[in-house]
Each structure stands twice: as C-alpha cells, then as structure tokens.
Structure 1
Amino acid sequence: MPVTLNRNSPVMLVLAQQSDLDDLAAIRIEAMRESLERVGRFDPVRARERFISGFEARNTRYIEVSGEKVGFVVVRHHPNEFLLDHLYVRPSAQGSGIGSAVLAQIFKEADVAALPIKVGALKESASNRFYTRHGFQFIESSEFDNYYVRQNVPAACPVC
C-alpha cells in the first residue's frame, strides 16, 4: 500500500543503530531490485555484502512516515563535500514526494556547511532523472554508474 504524504505525515529522518543492519540491507535490496534486474546485475547476496561492508550507523538515517520505516539515507561528511552514498525508498512509497523531502533536508545541511553534495546513480535507474530534476549536474560516468554534484547554495546574509 503506497504511503500518502500530507501535513499529518511528515517525513522524519531518524538515526539508525548498528542493530538495524539487516533491516537496512533488506530495504536496499527491495529498492534496487528493479533497476539491477533491468541491467542484468541483480544479486541479493552481493547487494547485501556490498552494503554491509561499508555500513556506518552514524551516517545512516531511516526515513519514517507516520511511524513507518519507508527507506533510509546515508550521507558521509567529508572535509570538502557531502557524499550522498545511499538514498532508498521502498517501491510502495516511491512517487509520493518522500525522496524530495529527504533531499530538501540534506540540501539544508549541506548549505549550512557550505559544501557540495556528490551522488552516484546506476546508469539505467530512474534515480538519474530524480537527481537532475533536483539540481544535480552530471560530472562523469563509469562502467555502471553516473556521478553528479549539487553545489551548495549560500544562505542569504541577514546583515549584508
């Protein structure tokens, strides 16, 4: 059943715990399945191992709507950039503005830090359109992925 966004169901980002690893890996596999099948690269064991190998709870937040965990986001803070390493929304909740609401929050954080955000997307994934629609600019591609950057937007200076 799709999640419906309204004023009474805000999108919340909640810090994940180390004990959430299995649930997070399952969300990743569910969200990536269609895109990976389209390019002939769906392997749930590999997808799980790849996620687990780089998991750091401190960078991971669940996406909750009406108390339901509908996805997660991983943002790694580097000295010169934010790396949007993962943004997954369960297929049943996609298309309802959840990803846009999450990006709006990440944009605010990056703009306060005055840092750009980099992200990669599987070449055949709809996420490429999602990121460009939200202001990310294509910078390069590899065999399987496209990479994008969104420059920070300086906050208006109240005393300038």
Structure 2
Amino acid sequence: MLLIRKHEPDIILRTAHPEDFEALVAMRIEAMRESLERVGRFDPVRARERFREGFSAPDTRYIEVAGNRVGFVVVKALANGLVLDHLYIKPDAQGQGVGSAVLRQVFAEADAAASTLRVGALKESDSNRFYLRHGFQLVESGEFDNYYVRPNV
C-alpha cells in the first residue's frame, strides 16, 4: 500500500510578549471552544484564569503560516523534561498539517536536548488521537485529562 504524506505548511514560530496575553487567550478560547462545549465544560472566564495562571511569554510562540497567526504553542522546561503546555490551532487552520509541523519542530528541540516531552489533553478531545498518532504514549488518565509522554530518542 502506498502512503501519501499530506503536505505540511511552512510555519514560523515567533516568541510572544507579555502584551500579547489578550490575543493569545482569545485564540485559546476559539480553538478549544468546540471540544469543551461538546462535554459541557466550556467556560471562557475559567479558560482565561487558567491561562493567566501559567502564562509565560518567553515560553510562548505564535504559529505563523504565510504571514498569518494561526495558533500558538507553549513549551516549558521542567526538571524532568519538557512539557508541551499548550498547542492551539484556530479552527479554520485545523486539518491542514499545521499541528504536525509544529510538533516536528518541538520534537527536534526535545531531541536536541535529549529530553522527554509530556503533554496533557482533555479526555474527550480530538487531540488525544493527534498525540497518539505522533508517538506519544498514554501514561496516566485523570478525572478530566489524559497525560502522555514522548520518550527522548
């Protein structure tokens, strides 16, 4: 069987700044709304508060495709490896290979640091399949979230 790999867009990751908080939280809410509404947990106030609690501009990068900001990614260094804290793609840019292209860059960074990479995902979110497809292994399942690890290679 011949496997044809979808073309991934050329992406640029640009570091965010503290004053970008409002734009980032709006992007987060837009990207996660459908998943949270599906499970009856959508609360934009809570989404804002949770994002504010862990917001770190130096760890946050906008995802740009053809000059347009289509999402953002947050990768933080912890004592036991890297954590993919957030990966949000605007709904109109989903399904075009953007997330896969971002993960490829994040994987390269993790591999260069010989680091594991961890991520959590809402149990009912489509992102669970996405992370499994990209080599993450389920290590724990909490009340609302699944937790995954990608061992260093």
* TM-score interval (norm. to shorter): over 0.9
Q: Which residue of 2 aligns with 1:157?
A: none
Give the Å deviation of 1:6: 6.5
Matches within 5 A, 1:82-101: 82-101=82-101
Which position in structure 1 is the counterpart of 2:42?
42
Tell me which residue corresponds to 2:26.
26
Aligned match of 2:69: 69
1:105 aligns with 2:105: yes
Residue in 2 that maps onto 1:125: 125
CA distance 1:6–1:142, shift in 2 (3 Å)? closer
CA distance in 2, matches of 1:48, 1:12: 25
Q: Give the secondary structure class of the aligned counterpart of 1:29.
A: helix
**AA at the equivalent of 1:151:** P
AA aligned opposite 1:70: V
The one-letter amino acid paired with 1:76 is K
Contact 2:31 2:91 in 1 (8 A): yes
Matches of 2:39 and 2:127 in 1, distance apart?
Answer: 14
Aligned residues: 148
What letter is aligned with 1:100? S
Partner residue, 1:81: 81
Separation in structure 2 between the aligned mates of residue 80 and residue 150 of structure 1, nearest angstrom: 12
Unaligned runs of 5+ in 2: 1-5
In 2, Cα distance between equivalents of 1:82 and 1:42: 28
When Rg is computed on C-alpha atoms for both structures, the one with the higher figure is: 1
**Deviation at residue 88 of structure 1 after TM alignment:** 0.2
User: For the residues of structure 1 that align with 2:18 and 2:32, how far apart are their CA atoms?
Assistant: 22
- Identity across the alignment (%): 66
Runs of 5+ unmatched residues, structure 1: 154-160
Give the alignment's TM-score, normalised by structure 2: 0.94
Q: What's the Cα RMSD here?
A: 1.3
Structure 1 residue runs of 4 or more that deviate by more than 3 Å after TM superposition: none
The normalised TM-score by structure 1 is 0.90
Query: What letter matches 1:88 in structure 2?
Result: Y
